[in-house]
Amino acid sequence: EVIFTRNASEALNLVALIYGERYLQEGDVVITSELEHHSSVLPWMKLCERKKAELKYIPLDEEGRITVSAFKKILSEKVKVVALTYVSNVMGYITPIEEIIKLAHQYQAIVVVDAAQAVMHLNIDVKKIDADFLAFSGHKMLGPTGIGVLYGKKKMLQKLEPLLYGGDMNEEVNLGSVTVKEIPYRFETGTPAIAEVIGLGEAIDILESIGIETIHEYTMAIKNYALKGLLALEGITVYNPTAETAIISFNIDGIHPHDAATIYDNADIALRAGHHCAQLITKWLKTNGTLRGSFSIYNDYQDADKLIKITKEAVLFFRKFAGENNE
């Protein structure tokens, strides 16, 4: 079943609030990782505090990846929820989510998948991977902002009460009772985001007409070209050279990413700078943030060449600036 939300953040919070509040008990365990976007980890962190449950993190390998072997080591009968990203929005790594879901289900744990960063890169079959809940934002598929999707198994959603009450989600209201509508309408209170839903549908149609695999191959080719150029430069640290998606996280050595970002901004290059709403992984990397380049269907090799050129110029600029200040 598909429920429309404002974004993936709202969808992930919704699962914690309508499922976690009802079923999580004192002493239970929720498993997550340091790769998570704040929207994937914080709802469960706060819920565990309230419920006196334990939040456990899968130890990452030397590259910062989630591995099945590390997941197995912390899996137990106490685990009730596994909340993980499908693709890290900082590192671009693909989580072995299907194997993890299979293992989690052997312990009767549910799995909540943050697929916001995955939907543009992977053909996702929710039935094949057997996810209990999966969320993404429309703008990640080049659709409008303000629209997100929560997929949930019908058998899971039927057990749950709505978080919000009001218009369009009830069948009948009496003086002392209310009968709510069937799924998904009971979870979609009030006037829906009609224009945004239509826009998301159109965006998905366009992407599917091109082909997600075609998009992935195209963006990876440009990303790998840009990566080769960046790795050839001195004074650059790339944190995810083996990423399977079209994301490069890097820094100019010794320069705060926010300062470096001004150079790219002046050159009309749109990079994101900072911790990307994922402070746990930037702390794991022992950095105060990164520069992140994400390649999409509207990029080409000229964009990659420009990124390499401006990065080289930025390194020289900051070296010159540092030298003048040291004189």
Q: Which residues on adjacent β-strands are paired with residue 83?
A: 112
Q: Sheet containing 236-238: which strands, arranged edge to edge?
A: 236-238, 247-252, 290-294, 272-274
Closest CA to 225 of 287, 308, 157: 308
Q: Residue 268: how many CB atoms within 10 A of its CB?
A: 8
Q: How far apart are the C-alpha atoms of 13 and 15, rounded to whole Å?
A: 5
Task: Give, in degrees to the nearest 5, the angle at Cα 159 between 156 and 162.
Answer: 105
Q: Sheet containing 148-152: which strands, arranged edge to edge?
A: 2-5, 148-152, 133-137, 110-114, 79-85, 29-33, 54-58
Return the axis-axis angle of helices 257-266 and 301-326, rounded to nearest 10°. Answer: 120
Closest CA to 212 of 110, 307, 76, 115: 115
The token pair that represents 136 in the structure block:
């993404």
Would you give the end-to-end CA distance of the chain in angstroms? 65
- Write the DSSP string, 165-232: -STTSEEEE-SS-EEEPSTTGGG--SS--HHHHHHHHHHHHHHHHH-HHHHHHHHHHHHHHHHHHHHT
Q: How far apart are the C-alpha atoms of 127 and 131, rounded to whole Å?
A: 7
Catalytic residue, chosen from 68, 180, 221, 277, is 277
Establish whether 48 is a catalytic residue. Answer: no
In degrees and rounded to multiples of 5, residue 37 shows phi and psi of: -65, 150
Q: How far apart are the C-alpha atoms of 222 and 295, rounded to whole Å?
A: 7
Q: How far apart are the C-alpha atoms of 136 and 305, rounded to whole Å?
A: 31
Active site members: 277
